[in-house]
Amino acid sequence: MNTTAADLIPARVAADATGSPRYLEPGWFTRNVFNRSVRRLTRIGISVWGSRELRVLGRTSGICRSLPVNLLTVEGERYLVSPRGMTQWVRNLRVAGEGELRVGRRIEAFTMVELDDVDKPTILREYLRRWKAEVGVFFDGLSADATDAQLAEIAPGFPVFRVITG
């Protein structure tokens, strides 16, 4: 049996009723207007509410993939949260273990550590506090005022990575 790097990474996302990992596909407007606009602004050096362009190698193609992400800072540590669940960037980052964050000409290489579900509620709360207007729909009605138990219940469906630089 051939084992790949992806096989060695534990599944840390909740499954839906069919057993598939949680994933909410972006609509046409998000893909073609919103994400492109934020990416363009970020590339020229205008960070929209902490936006960065994430660049990570594709896990099968080896081609550099990029998209806008929200970089969250909590108590001096920086995090990437995937409000849409098991996205392609999450799968690529898990395999690559590293990437780059870009604002304008400033490119910052990083490695990452994925948080365990028990460590996510504080980060999810702060993410909701900062970006609820943008991503709240992905959190099934929860807000930054949700209890730790409510956030712990949804945590498996939201991959969270601590960004390590230097």
In a domain, 88, yes or no: yes
In a domain, 101, yes or no: yes
In a domain, 149, yes or no: yes
In a domain, 80, yes or no: yes
| The pLDDT of residue 1 is above 70 | no
pLDDT digits (tens, 9 = 90+) for 68-86: 999 999 999 999 999 999 9
% pLDDT > 90, the chain: 62
* Closest of 18, 45, 22 to residue 91, by C-alpha: 22
Rounded to two decimals, the pTM is 0.82
pLDDT score for 48: 74
What is the domain-level CATH number for residue 34? Answer: 2.30.110.10
DSSP letters for 110-157: EEEEEPPGGG-HHHHHHHHHHHHHHHGGGGTT--TT--HHHHHHHGGG
Number of domains in the chain: 1
pLDDT digits (tens, 9 = 90+) for 32-80: 777 677 777 778 777 777 889 999 999 999 999 999 999 999 999 999 9
